[in-house]
Amino acid sequence: MNKPARPAAAKTGRSLTDYLWFAVPLVALVLATVWLSTSDWLRAFNVGAPPVEKLTFERTVLDSDGIHLYVRAGGSEPLTIAQVTVDDAFWAFTQDPPGALDRLATAWLHIPYPWVLGEAHEIKLRSGTGAAFTKAIEVAVSTPKPQIGQLQPQALLGAFVGIVPVAIGMLFFPALQSLGGRRMNFVLALTIGLLGFLFVDTLEEGLEMAGEAAAAFQGTTMVLVTAAVAFLVLMVIGRRHGTPTGLALATYIALGIGLHNFGEGLAIGAAFAAGIAGLGTFLVLGFTLHNVTEGIGIVAPLVDKRPPLWTFIGLALLAGAPAIPGLWLGSLSFGPHWSALALAIGAGAILQVIVEVGDYLKRHAERHGENWLSFGTLAGIVAGAGVMYVTAIFVKI
């Protein structure tokens, strides 16, 4: 009787000690910090050089009041924005909130500069040490405002480049159903090819955005870690009830593509905000064509099912509609690190569906007594990536 009781008692006793042991390294850390901050031996490294100053421009808004910049400080010491010049002329400005900017602190600068429509401007923020941080406005146009009247046409554009092509692609569904098993392998491989293209494209875009963000955000690492986490989370969720097939798989594909289209929306919106988009019929059609293939990919896992019509509508919206908020946010010129995060999640989501579609392809092929990698599937992958690549030529701004 004693025997089982004793370990239990010992266990509770030990667990308290265990907690104390957890505290030991923490206490050591605190001690190290206190020592470092009080002993001041780091002074030996002070060579009298001016502080390292960094400044990132996160948002640029042009409106009837002038130019507004949202900036984020970096560097080793608080940064003071002493003066502003626009096109080599001192210009009055107000800073909100005022004062020196601590590391990673942000502020709005309001510069009542009479910018000229369609022309270029160069803004220099001069710090207290005389260092200059330059923001080039390549083509000055008024930044869209988050008003219903302004957002409506963008919603329309978002729907046109997001939802419409996906829906058109889905119209291939009956045709896909008529294909036999081997040709179905080709379609699944095609889906993998196009998803592979989207993965690279999204990741690249995310890394590019991350490059514009403040150095302290460690853009590249942030994007890669976020993508990996998103991938793992979606894998775990997706496989709670075994490998996803059918509608579940289609939904995950639609989600991944939806996140990609969100990123695409960001890019188009940002192009608007920067005034560099000569966005014509050609470009919009290019996006549409580019995204038609996505519709085929989404419905590919459904060919041996008879899903009701509403599922198609739902999938089309899930895959296409994110382009609309993407366009809005992009045109409103939000911080590049937010865009980078959204794109990283998208890349992770796409990687998840690549794995799941690949898994599905393997099982589908085996069911028809074939290897998952054949000339047929190879041709599918190449065709999927190839079509995406060729149609992307039309849409690269």
Q: Does 113 bind another protein (CB under 8 A)?
A: yes
CA angle 138, 159, 186 (to 5 degrees): 105
CB of residue 156 vs another protein: minimum separation in angstroms? 6
Are 339 and 262 spatial neighbours (Cβ–Cβ below 8 Å)?
A: no
What are the C-alpha distances in Å from 336 to residues 45, 142, 240? 34, 19, 34
The one among 54, 110, 121, 135 contacting another protein by CB under 8 A: 110
Nearer CB in complex with another protein: 283/388: 283
Nearer CB in complex with another protein: 286/297: 286
Are 69 and 47 spatial neighbours (Cβ–Cβ below 8 Å)?
A: no
Q: Does 366 bind another protein (CB under 8 A)?
A: no
Are 238 and 244 spatial neighbours (Cβ–Cβ below 8 Å)?
A: yes
Q: Does 149 bind another protein (CB under 8 A)?
A: yes
Q: Does 78 bind another protein (CB under 8 A)?
A: no
Q: What is the number of alpha carbons within 13 Å of residue 163 lying toward its C-beta?
A: 17
Binding mask 250-279 for another protein (x = CB under 8 A): ----------------------x--x-xxx
The one among 11, 27, 90, 120 contacting another protein by CB under 8 A: 90
Rounded to 5 degrees, φ, ψ at 309 are: -60, -40
Are 381 and 193 spatial neighbours (Cβ–Cβ below 8 Å)?
A: yes
CB of residue 128 vs another protein: minimum separation in angstroms? 5
Q: Residue 144: helix, strand or coil by DSSP?
A: coil
The full DSSP string for 363-381 is HHHHHTT--SSSHHHHHHH
The one-letter amino acid at 148: I
The one among 139, 168, 216, 247 contacting another protein by CB under 8 A: 139
Segment lying near another protein (by CB under 8 A), choices 129-137, 213-221, 333-341, 386-394: 129-137
CB of residue 203 vs another protein: minimum separation in angstroms? 29
Q: Residue 122: helix, strand or coil by DSSP?
A: strand
Name beta bridge partners: 54: 74
Pseudo-torsion of CA 83, 86, 89, 91, nearest 10°?
-50
Find the binding residues for another protein in span 156-195 (CB under 8 A): 156-157, 160
Nearer CB in complex with another protein: 54/110: 110
The one among 70, 74, 101, 144 contacting another protein by CB under 8 A: 144
Nearer CB in complex with another protein: 35/282: 282
Pseudo-torsion of CA 181, 242, 320, 311, nearest 10°?
70
Q: Residue 125: helix, strand or coil by DSSP?
A: strand
Q: Residue 73: helix, strand or coil by DSSP?
A: strand
Are 181 and 281 spatial neighbours (Cβ–Cβ below 8 Å)?
A: no
How many residues touch another protein under the rule CB under 8 A: the total is 54
Q: Does 130 bind another protein (CB under 8 A)?
A: yes
Nearer CB in complex with another protein: 120/390: 120
Nearer CB in complex with another protein: 116/215: 116
Find the binding residues for another protein in span 10-69 (CB under 8 A): 63-66
Q: Does 117 bind another protein (CB under 8 A)?
A: yes
**Tokens found for residue 42:** 């780091």
The H or E element spanning position 123 is strand 121-127
How far is it, in rounded angstroms, from Cα 5 to Cα 12? 11
CB of residue 288 vs another protein: minimum separation in angstroms? 11
Are 182 and 305 spatial neighbours (Cβ–Cβ below 8 Å)?
A: no
**Tokens found for residue 82:** 């002493």
Nearer CB in complex with another protein: 152/221: 152
CB of residue 80 vs another protein: minimum separation in angstroms? 6
Nearer CB in complex with another protein: 39/281: 281
Q: Does 94 bind another protein (CB under 8 A)?
A: yes
The one among 55, 69, 125, 140 contacting another protein by CB under 8 A: 140
Segment lying near another protein (by CB under 8 A), choices 128-136, 171-179, 226-234, 289-297: 128-136
The one-letter amino acid at 240: R
The one among 57, 93, 287, 328 contacting another protein by CB under 8 A: 93
**Residue ranges in contact with another protein by CB under 8 A:** 63-66, 80, 82-85, 88-94, 110, 112-118, 124, 126-132, 139-145, 147, 149-150, 153, 156-157, 160, 272, 275, 277-281, 284
